[in-house]
Structures are given as structure tokens and as C-alpha cells.
Amino acid sequence: MRRSGGERKPREERWAELIEVATQVFYEKGYDGASLQDIADRLGMLKGSLYYYIQSKEDLLFDVISSVHRDGLAVIRARAELPGDPLQRLENVIVGHVEHTCRNLVPTAVFLHELSALPPDRRVEVLGNEHAYQGVFRGLIEAGQAEGLVRTDIDPRLAALSVLGSTNWVYRWFRPGGAFSADQIATELAGMAVRGIATPDALAARGV
């Protein structure tokens, strides 16, 4: 694992490169169609050298999927902690989620397409028993109900799934430089989602 000049790459740098390349190869060929040899060739290293970092292709997919989930979760958790009432924070979370998705189209596609390739126990290990990502949305919706800002006839889990379903789909049609900017998409989707669950009084207070 030496560079052309004989300089050895730090493990952290090489690992980050491995994850980036594996993500791209899984995106291009799909998990089933990709091989460790494909990834090694793209990295310019021997296939056997990959085993310094991983034990199997499944392990590598697990690490790729975990990295995507961890990065996205960090974004929305940070947005959820911003000042404001639950509806404002939910709007911030949706904007953050959509913007992050638009900036990370390839990793998002791999996550959504290939998560099912992992065994059930490893999917749980990534997502957490309580589906941590979904839980951020659900928690804010529940907090909004407790404060009279979100309609009580709405099931928080169903509402969270609806928001995530519609916003996740952005990765299929968003194109950088296209008709809609990431900011515009994020703002409008967040606004539509909030208007769909807010109480009349909450809407009136927001000037809607």
C-alpha cells in the first residue's frame, strides 16, 4: 500500500479514500455487480491489500452504509437543536436533510438502494432499533403536538415516514444546475410538509 513515490499513506486517509471509491463503485455497478477487485483496481492497489481494512465485501458495504447514515444523522440532529419551536425546528431539519441529500446524491443512492443487501441484524445495527433518523422527525412532530402546534389527528410516525419518503425521493430527480436549486427545493418541501401538519392557529401565527 505504497504511493508511487514510496510514501506510505496514513491509515485514516487511505480508509477515507476506500470508502469514497467503494461508494462510487457500488453506485455504478450495484452491490451484487461490484467486486473487491473492481474497488482495488480503482484504488490502484492489490485486492489482497483491501483485507488490511476489511474482512469481506459485505463488511465494506456495511461501512459505506454506516458512514452515509452517520453523516446524515449528524446533520439533522444539529438542525434539530437550533432555537425555535418544534415546527420551526422540524422545518430546519427538513431543509438540512434535503440540502444534505442534494450535496450527496451518490452516497444517498447507495444507501437507499443497497441497505437491503445487508442481513437484517446488520441493517438494525446501522439504523438502530428505534430508527434514529426517523426518530428525529417523529420526536419533533410529537413535541409540536404537545405544544398545540401540530394537529392531534396526525400519527407522528406516519407523518415522519411521509416526510422522509417525499424528501428522500429528491435524490432521483435533483440535478445540480437544473431548474431548481437545492436551497429552493429544501425550502419549498419543508414549507409544504409543515403546512400539512400544523394546526390552524400555528399556521396563523406563521402568517400562512
CA distance 185 to 191: 10
Running DSSP on this structure, what letter comes out for residue 147? T
Class of domain 58-205: mainly alpha
pLDDT (tens digit, 9 = 90+) per residue, 6-45? 344 457 888 899 999 999 999 999 999 999 999 999 999 9
Mean pLDDT score of the chain: 91
pLDDT 10s digits, 64-77: 999 999 999 999 99
pLDDT at residue 131, as a whole number = 82
CATH homologous superfamily for 1-54?
A: Homeodomain-like (1.10.10.60)
Q: What is the pLDDT confidence band of residue 127, given thresholds at 50, 70 and 90? A: confident
Select the more confidently predicted residue: 112 or 131: 112
All structural domains of the chain with their residue ranges: 1-54, 58-205
| DSSP tag of 8 | B
| Portion of the chain with pLDDT greater than 70, in percent | 94
Is there a shared CATH topology between the 1-54 domain and the 58-205 domain? no
| Spatial separation of the C-alpha atoms in residues 49 and 68, rounded to whole Å | 24
Q: What grid cell was written down for 56? A: 469481506
User: To which residue does cell 496514513 refer?
Assistant: 10
Closest CA to 191 of 166, 171, 169, 155: 166
Model-level pTM? Answer: 0.87
To the nearest 10°, report the CA torsion of 134, 135, 141, 145: 150
Residue 203: count other Cβ atoms within 10 Å of its Cβ. Answer: 14
The CA distance from 7 to 196, in Å, is 57
